[in-house]
Amino acid sequence: MRQIKWGLIGCGNIAHQFAQSLGKINSGTLCAVASNTSNKAELFAKKYRVDNFYTSYDDLVNDKNIDAVYIATPHNFHYENAKLCIAHNKHVLCEKPITINTKQLLELIPLAEAKNLFLMEAVWTRFLPAIEKLQSLITEGIIGEIDTLKAHFSITGNFGPSHRLMNKELAGGALLDLGIYPITFANLVFGKHPTHIKSSAVIGETGIDESSFYLFEYDNGQRAVLSSSIKDHSPTEAMICGSKGYIRVPEFLGAREIHIHLPEQTTRVINFPREEEENFVYEIEHANKCISSNLTQSPILPLSESLAIIETMDTLRKQWNLVYKED
């Protein structure tokens, strides 16, 4: 497998996680970074010993040495950044959500296909060893027939109105940043998309969902009770309930443990240890393998799956009358 040469657009927190993980593997290397913020790319490049840094995204995508670009900008820029990369024949791994809405992704997919370029949404949860094991346990029927999934993801902080999470102009809110994880987890557990969606949201002063709640119902009576919040203190975990027992996954989006609870048996805990700087390793290695194999989509997270999840989030926002300028 050839070594993939990466460029990086955006130099915020997620970009640092990407650079740290990329530095742990041999299948790819970081060759250039770009930021529109003065000196940010230069400082980032020095920290990670990257040869080239740019103050414009145009300059980065014109770098002939780069095979693929990781997009780590705020949500509302993902579509235009991905479109720019594809126009310059770069493979794209884009931080979630890959676009703000269905319309944008439907425009990107044929552009990438026409140039035979790899395009994938960066949802690191999908590629973790713990999640792979969880899916095999469910398939084996260790807890019987799955009836209910409960999953919640929340973070708290002193987020001012201009913070990207609170800023409607930057497509802020709990759903796109956090809610996408329990929604993704529901698709992992049930292997299908809901037939009925009910929801509610707490819309804050800046016009975004500060907390949102989702009830998914499936055609065979299964259900998922999901939520996300940027204001509540509560545990981030998932509970999968079946006819023979249940599985609890603490911090499910970055799963390191699986707790299996069966009647009259001692709880079985399966551990998947890793360092923080290895969080994105599995996702990046998968992308590198796909690109080296001349694949245009991931067999684990195909664009049809990303599209279905964005359609679900469009449905939720429509129920709350939450509209972004990109809509």
What is the pLDDT at residue 69?
98
∠ CA(312), CA(153), CA(178), 5° rounding? Answer: 50
**Exposure string for 194-208, b = 16+ CB within 10 A, e = fewer:** beebebebeebebbb
- C-alpha span between 197 and 314 (Å, rounded): 11
Q: What is the pLDDT of residue 145?
A: 96
Which tokens is 173 given? Answer: 């809110």
Res 20: pLDDT: 98
The residue to which tokens 């679900």 are assigned: 312
What was the pLDDT predicted at 131? 98
Residue 237, pLDDT score = 97
> Is 84 within 8 Å of 296 (Cβ atoms)?
no
Q: Exposed, middle or buried, 304 (CB in 10 Å: 0-12/13-18/19+)?
A: exposed
Return averaged pLDDT per consecutive 10 residues of the chain, 327 residues in all.
94 96 97 94 97 96 97 97 98 98 98 98 98 97 97 91 93 96 97 96 96 96 97 92 98 98 97 96 98 98 97 98 96
Phi-psi region of 38 (alpha: psi -120 to 50; beta: other; left: phi over 0): beta
User: Shortest CA distance to 62 belongs to which of 81, 89, 37, 36?
Assistant: 89
Q: What is the pLDDT of residue 232?
A: 85
Q: What is the pLDDT of residue 2?
A: 86
Please state the pTM of the whole predicted model.
Answer: 0.96
Note the pLDDT of residue 38. Answer: 81
Whole-angstrom distance between the N-terminal and C-terminal Cα of the chain? 40
Helices (H), the chain: 13-22, 40-48, 57-61, 78-87, 102-114, 129-140, 174, 180-190, 281-292, 303-320
| Token pair of 172 as six digits | 């802020």
